[in-house]
Structure 1
Amino acid sequence: MALDPDKLYALSFPEIRQRYSWRDSVVYALGLGFGLDPLDEGQLRFVDETKLHAVPTMANVLAYPGFWMRDLDTGIDWVKVVHGEHAMQLHKPLAAEGEVIGTTRIADIVDKGAGKGALVYAEREIRDAQSGDLLATLLQTVFCRGDGGFGGRATSSRTPHPTPERAPDLKLDLPTHPQLALIYRLSGDLNPLHADPEIARKAGYDRPILHGLATYGVAGHALMKALCGYDPARFRSIDARFSAPVFPGETITTEIWREAAGQAAFRCRVATRDATVIANGRFIYDA
């Protein structure tokens, strides 16, 4: 069954209601490596329940509709999909505990051509269940490698944010630990690729890889530390492209270029493999 854009646009996603506790907020932060330096007061405010703040990128795991490409009638060859890009805009700081409602829709579909795949843009809004206030808007770009050539529009209105050619203004190293993927998966993404060595080998890796959105969260951690003084209320939006996997235990170096007041470009690298793992990053914050 081929990808049918009309069917995708008409998809009705179930509304997701989720109540989360301070423990969920702490588990998410631990799954990004917060607290690896137990003397860093900036990190401790995201893992100590007596002074707890929610990590801004936790919005990405709240009211998540699951692996909908496999569960809903989409026509997508879900075995061949990868997470290509991700954008997150925060409208209000997240509470350390609360109840939220998530609604998802297909925002755009791009046909890259036969043998070249397709891009499906899924937008999710997260609202406070009590007040109805919009907390976050998320845009996930799914690269459907096996679904191009259905006759759709070939161009996207979104363009990657350019990476400056000059040396970065800031570099920040954040280590991960070998158990990081096993902790991060407790926030909801139970894909065995991140836990089962045999599944990882079948996918072409010699060991399980870190979740892309965990790497994204580590980038958010670095940006919040370097540019916001660990104040989550200054965090506005982040978008980037996934370019290579990270293996738990590697150190992620975030390179940052100041571009304007409250705006920075960034990318993430693993120096030991000379690998760029997140590219074309843009971060908006209260300067």
Structure 2
Amino acid sequence: MAIDYDKLMAWPFEDVRQRYTRRDTMLYALGIGLGSDPCDAEHENELRFVYEKNLVALPTYPVVLGYPGMWIRDPATGVDAVRLVHGEQSLVLHELPAPEGEVIGRTSITGIVDKGATKGALIYTERTVHDAASGKLLATLGSTTFCRADGGFGGPSGPVKPVHELPTRTPDHVEDRKTLPGAALIYRLSGDYNPLHAEPAVGRAAGFERPILHGLATYGVAGWALTKGLCGGDPSRIATIENRFSSPVYPGETIRTEMWIDGKTASYRARVIERDVVVLNNGRAMLR
């Protein structure tokens, strides 16, 4: 079954109303590795994100709020869900979410690009996250899904989102984060229960030596590196953050986030030190 462009563009998403607690906020931060050593002076400011006293949400927390689930696995989409990958993620943070509350997520498809029969297709989605009580817009999230087996359906060939080019100079700042061996098992409790991140047999069937870390967990690691390294640990100073996903991380590996600062624009990428593989690329963040 091929993609039906008009049908997919009009996909009927329902609003997602989500009540989240302080426990959920802390669990998300633990899933990306904060608080790994609360007695280490360098990491003491991480307690604000993993301990209920003076609790604060991380800037990337909205990625798990108002999430519509794996809608794309519905056969009616015409997408081969086995061969799709998360290609890009963006976040505009209008206001940092409270440590607990209720939100409404509204998702829509904003574009579909047919790259050709042998090159796959791109599906662009947007999700807005609103405070349920006030209606205030908290975050706008953009996601690109690369459907490797679904090109050639006769859809438009563009427009394609432009790529942010990184500076060629040596990075201005570097942050390293050793991930926990069980990081994926913790992060999945924030809502992404894909067995690819838990079952060794599923990981091997997908071509990996073992379960991989969620791409959005790696995104969260980079988001904290930017917050810590360039914003003095203040999550409210992150205005936008976006990147491409280029390779998976295995839990237990060390993620090095390399950053360049030009005024209020930060460029970044992340690599796994142990394998010298870039896992996030063409990253850009705007700082307040």
TM bucket (normalised to shorter chain) is over 0.9
Aligned mates of 1:173, 1:37 — CA distance in 2: 14
Aligned identity (percent) is 58
Instruction: Return the match for 2:250 from 238, 247, 251.
Output: 247
Superposed CA RMSD in Å reads 0.9
What TM-score do you get using the length of structure 2 for normalisation? 0.97
Structure 1 alignment gaps of length 5 or more = none
Match of 2:12 in 1: 12
Match of 1:126 in 2: 129
Where do 1:253-264 residues align within 5 Å? 253-259=256-262, 261-264=263-266
Following superposition, the deviation at residue 41 of structure 1 comes to 2.3
Aligned mates of 2:159, 2:175 — CA distance in 1: 32
| Change in 2 beyond 3 A, CA 1:188/1:163 | same
1:28 maps to 2:28: yes
Structure 2 alignment gaps of length 5 or more = none
Amino acid at match of 1:30: L
Match of 1:37 in 2: 37
Contact residue 37 and residue 43 of structure 1 kept, 8 A: no
Match of 2:183 in 1: 180
Match of 1:196 in 2: 199
SS of residue in 2 equivalent to 1:199: helix
Following superposition, the deviation at residue 214 of structure 1 comes to 0.3
Instruction: Return the match for 1:63 from 26, 43, 66.
Output: 66
Q: Which runs of 4+ in 1 moved over 6 A?
A: none
Paired residue total: 285
SS of residue in 2 equivalent to 1:277: strand
Amino acid at match of 1:184: Y
Match of 1:154 in 2: 157
Query: Which stretch shifts more, 49-58 or 146-155?
Result: 146-155
SS of residue in 1 equivalent to 2:274: helix
SS of residue in 2 equivalent to 1:3: coil
Aligned mates of 1:41, 1:5 — CA distance in 2: 50
Match of 2:210 in 1: 207
Contact residue 103 and residue 130 of structure 2 kept, 8 A: yes
Aligned mates of 2:161, 2:21 — CA distance in 1: 35
Aligned mates of 1:281, 1:11 — CA distance in 2: 29
SS of residue in 2 equivalent to 1:51: coil
Query: Which stretch shifts more, 169-178 or 65-74?
Result: 65-74
Instruction: Return the match for 1:269 from 249, 268, 271.
Output: 271
SS of residue in 1 equivalent to 2:202: helix
Following superposition, the deviation at residue 13 of structure 1 comes to 0.2
Contact residue 127 and residue 141 of structure 2 kept, 8 A: yes
SS of residue in 1 equivalent to 2:192: coil
| Residue deviations 1:85-114 (CA, integer Å, cap 9, x gap) | 010110011110000000100001111101
| Residue deviations 1:102-135 (CA, integer Å, cap 9, x gap) | 0100001111101110000010000000000000
SS of residue in 1 equivalent to 2:33: coil
1:112 maps to 2:115: yes
What TM-score do you get using the length of structure 1 for normalisation? 0.97
1:226 maps to 2:229: yes
